[in-house]
A and B are shown apart, each in its own frame.
Chain A
Amino acid sequence: MPHFFNNKRLIILMVSIILLVILVGFSMRERESVPWPEEFVRDSVGVFQSTISRPAHFAANRFEAVENLLDTYEENKTLKQQLEKYAATSAELENTRQENETLRESADTQEMLSDYESRQALVVYRNPDRWTQTIGINQGTQNGIEQDMAVVTNEGLIGRVAEASEFSSTVQLLSDGERTNRISASVTAGDETVNAFIEGWDEDRDGLMLRKIRSDAEIEEGQQVVTSGMGGAFPSGIPIGEVESVEPDEYGLTYNALIEPAADFSDLTYVNVLDRNIEDLSEEFPSLEEDQEQEDEEEEAVDPVGEEGGGGS
């Protein structure tokens, strides 16, 4: 290195460090919208990524097909067993659906917390450094995608739209572990529904943390966790995962549960972005997002069945 750090270069280094700090400071604050140069670069790179991702997905699916072929026998056995249950379940579902329809008509509601439109999108990249868990999809605001929409696979919830530009958007996965990434969820424990919040990702045990469960709730292993639809842009009833273990939180006032996510975050091809139909939910329930701290006292008041009726009328 014949030319190492003489005066001029030292000044350039200093200036670039200052620029770095300014840029980081600019982008670390919560941004409402993405500045246009960023959007432009992202969209143009997205075109290339979208084209080259198709053959890659195709090849990856071939590998998987071969793997699947190898354990077909075992799978067939278990599937046959499940098929017997299926007939009973589907009859029950049909029954419930009709009942629901009638009840809804009698209650005169058109909109439900669980109503949404779904848009399919192809995964075109994934952040290779894994410090932040994000993926890119090939649909943007042109296709009706907006910030904070829920992103799901067939198995369950995987994340939310972090930034949407014209033709592509970035999805922040649940495994990203940011504490601000808060999702209101509910667990069906026996006859009652318990509301709590999904906050953060436990790195050591590889699971989602369900926090602020009220202390008298009977949460057990194996219970299903779904979105409650009461905070922000997520519709209700999307599976999140299964309760793996329950423990009291650091103050002993509420419980925390470790949730094993239903969806597999490692191998994603197609995802669905859910657009909730109910507009301006926050106007109707302005207190919901602010009063999360007083969750315990308010648990009785925030009865999901009551909310749904109120939301529609």
Chain B
Amino acid sequence: MTRFLIPVAIFCLFLIEGTWFEILFPQENESGWVWMPRFALIGVILTSIYRGPVAGVWAGIFVGFLYDFTYTQVLGVYTFCFGFIAYVSSYSLPVVRNSYGWQWLIIFCALFVFELLIYFIYFLLGIAELSFGEFLVKRMIASWLINGAAALLLLVPFRRIFEWIEDQEKIRQR
């Protein structure tokens, strides 16, 4: 039960990202701002903070795989980026685990690296045609705003889940 809790939570975030968010907040193209929800990424980063790099990378590969297969026609890009981000954001120090501020900062930086990676790969493949400046304004800032806000909402429930899982593990070890 405890083993499947994190994948299920991340899977739910993945579904919310593509279905609920897009249906409830349809985006107009005119303004040029693109609000990209990265809720599953937040879940993956928190997993690798609380559960270590190995669990984090597996969670990342799992979501990236789903992402590649359902949303994009180019395989491998999201699997690689999710895995990579999960690995570089695995600061599992007690200081980080006990402070929401540090976690939020890590998510904030990871979002930057993640969007940049996706942009560069897609730019090389010819899928993205935005110039770098436009990318920074229209996508990066929008992504920071929306995902930063989402991270604030997700930090507390995720910490509860991880604490609960750790308690369960201690009980089992006795």
Give me the interface of A with B, judged by CB distance under 8 Å.
1, 3, 13, 16-17, 19-20, 22-24, 26-28, 37-38, 41-42, 45-46, 48-49, 52-53, 56-57, 59-60, 63, 123-132, 134, 136, 162-163, 170, 175, 177, 203, 206, 265-269
B36 at the interface (CB under 8 A from A): yes
Q: Are A53 and B73 in contact (CB under 8 A)?
A: no
B2 at the interface (CB under 8 A from A): no
| Contacts of B11-66 to chain A: CB distance below 8 A | 11, 15-24, 26-30, 34, 36-37, 53, 65-66
Nearest chain-B residue to A25 (Cβ)?
B76
Tier of interface size on chain B: 35 or more
Query: Residue A20 contacts which of B28, B29, B30, B77 (CB distance < 8 angstroms)?
Result: B77
- A125-B22 contact, Cβ under 8 Å, with A41-B65, A45-B70, A134-B71: yes
Nearest chain-B residue to A1 (Cβ)?
B91
Q: Are B90 and A49 in contact (CB under 8 A)?
A: no
- A16-B80 contact, Cβ under 8 Å, with A42-B69, A128-B36, A203-B129: yes
Query: Residue A126 contacts which of B18, B34, B76, B77 (CB distance < 8 angstroms)?
Result: B18
The 6 closest A-B pairs by CB, nearest first: A23-B76, A267-B26, A125-B18, A126-B22, A27-B75, A56-B23
Question: In the complex, what's the smallest C-beta–C-beta distance from B113 to chain A, in angstroms?
Answer: 13
Q: Which of B120-128, B154-162, B164-172 contacts its partner? A: B120-128
Q: Are A1 and B76 in contact (CB under 8 A)?
A: no
Q: Are A163 and B70 in contact (CB under 8 A)?
A: no
Residues of A within 8 A of B30 (CB): 206
Query: Residue B23 contacts which of A27, A53, A162 (CB distance < 8 angstroms)?
Result: A53
Residues of A within 8 A of B65 (CB): 41
Nearest chain-A residue to B81 (Cβ)?
A20
B118 at the interface (CB under 8 A from A): yes
Residues of A within 8 A of B36 (CB): 128-130
Query: Residue A23 contacts which of B17, B27, B53, B75 (CB distance < 8 angstroms)?
Result: B75
Q: Are B71 and A125 in contact (CB under 8 A)?
A: yes
Interface string of B119-142 (1 = CB under 8 A from A): 001100101111000000000000
Question: In the complex, what's the smallest C-beta–C-beta distance from A81 to chain B, in angstroms?
Answer: 27
